[in-house]
Amino acid sequence: MLTVQEGRFLKEFEKLGEIGWVPGKGMDRPAYSASYNEAREYLHTLMNDAGMETRIDGVGNLFGRYDGKEKGAKSFLVGSHLDAVPGGGKYDGALGILAGIEVSRRIREERGPLRHPLEVVAFTAEEGGPLGGTFGSRAFTGLVSRDVPNDILSSFGLSHEVIEKSRGKKEDYLAYLELHIEQGPILWRRNIAIGIPTGIVGITRYKIDICGQANHAGTTPMEERRDAMRSASLLLARWFTWVEQRLREKNDFVCNVGVFSLFPGGAPIVPEKASFILELRSLRDEVVDKVAKTFRSFLEEMPSCRGSMELMVEKPAVELDRNLISAIEIAAQKRGFSHQLIPSGASHDASPMAHFVPTGMIFVPSIEGVSHSKEEATAPKDIICGANTLLETLLELDGKD
């Protein structure tokens, strides 16, 4: 049975993980940075050395390609993103690219060309920032809005014209597959080798402003204050109490408040304004809508202060391709790997890709469920299982079509 070459694969993975790594702090490899460009050049060299035909599009996505045996056949595309969050780990994104290179190389070495062309992609700027999340894959799929300001684009040496020229042709591709760490605890806790996502959660973010009145913190009686911080705290306490009750009945969404600020922000001043970002995630968009309405009703019922709720981000949930899910299941079974269908609670390049071409994902366990942290890790045996599942899936699909 054909397998990846473990020593080579893990050595290359460790080498890539050194680029941008800051001891004690984690990864420093944002898109378009010097460390990012160095990492992309390393991948570019691996692809060239493996005999791939390579190219870099206008926004910085790197592609490596092997032609197939059948003239005019559509391509398989495999990969993930190369950039990393500040202080993040070595596994997020990078694993999927290197696995794509190794799997493609092994198939070529031992079997020769597949019937279909096989491409590996290292997408840029998945992790957010001024360009927004999944930027590289959105550019490739034509999903970058014309509303993105030109000054932001030009600061990265980009333009709407460059983005448009980076758009891929849907008719050229048969499927997209992305191997990724789970970034959650399910597989790790259950000792399951392979997760097969059925869908990717939608993400909705609201900016919440609570407006009161600034005043002297020593002379204003407590009962007369219009304290924005206090009102926001009571609102959130009520909200999270409701969330806990709701999730005991239906565990169908998650929420987070990860940003909170006060104005004017002085110890002797009653806060005039409290602002925070509420994030909601679910596999069902209608659940997010209902939950958001509940929060809005709490906001409107808030005493003493006025509140507003502004939509910032709205990414619909995505269903992954059922035929690819079945192919990944068959591949895991053939290899004897334990596996489970699970949702993806994080966004991935697979999300915009699913609007472009049939898309599937393969998850491997994250130790203790930790990700976006310097402590992020996946056991070498699980990395190998994931890569071999990807390999077997490609063989399965190439034989079926």
The binding site comprises 81, 92, 127, 180, 372
What is the three-class DSSP state of 80? strand
Question: Taking the CB of residue 345, how many other CB atoms lie within 10 A of it?
Answer: 17
β-pair partners for 119: 65, 77
Minimal CA–CA distance to 179: which of 108, 107, 97?
A: 97
Spell out the long-range contacts of 16-19 with Cβ–Cβ below 8 A and sequence spacing 24 or more.
16/42, 16/43, 16/90, 16/94, 16/98, 17/90, 17/94
Residues with Cβ within 8 Å of 300's Cβ and at least 6 positions away in sequence, in order, are: 307
- What residues are designated binding site for Zn(2+)? 81, 92, 127, 180, 372
Report the length, in residues, of the chain: 401
Q: Show the tokens assigned to 241.
A: 């109490």
> How many Å apart are CA 200 and CA 257, to the nearest integer?
20
Residues with Cβ within 8 Å of 308's Cβ and at least 6 positions away in sequence, in order, are: 208, 209, 211
Minimal CA–CA distance to 39: which of 25, 21, 54, 22?
A: 21
Q: Going by DSSP bridges, is the β-strand pair 62-66/53-56 parallel, antiparallel, or unpaired? A: antiparallel
Evaluate whether 321 touches 328 at the Cβ level (below 8 Å). Answer: no
Minimal CA–CA distance to 227: which of 217, 219, 237, 236?
A: 217
Please, where are the H alpha helices in 203-321?
A: 228-249, 285-300
> How many Å apart are CA 61 and CA 58, to the nearest integer?
8
Q: Show the tokens assigned to 373.
A: 């942290």
> To the nearest 10°, the Cα dihedral for 320, 326, 328, 330?
170
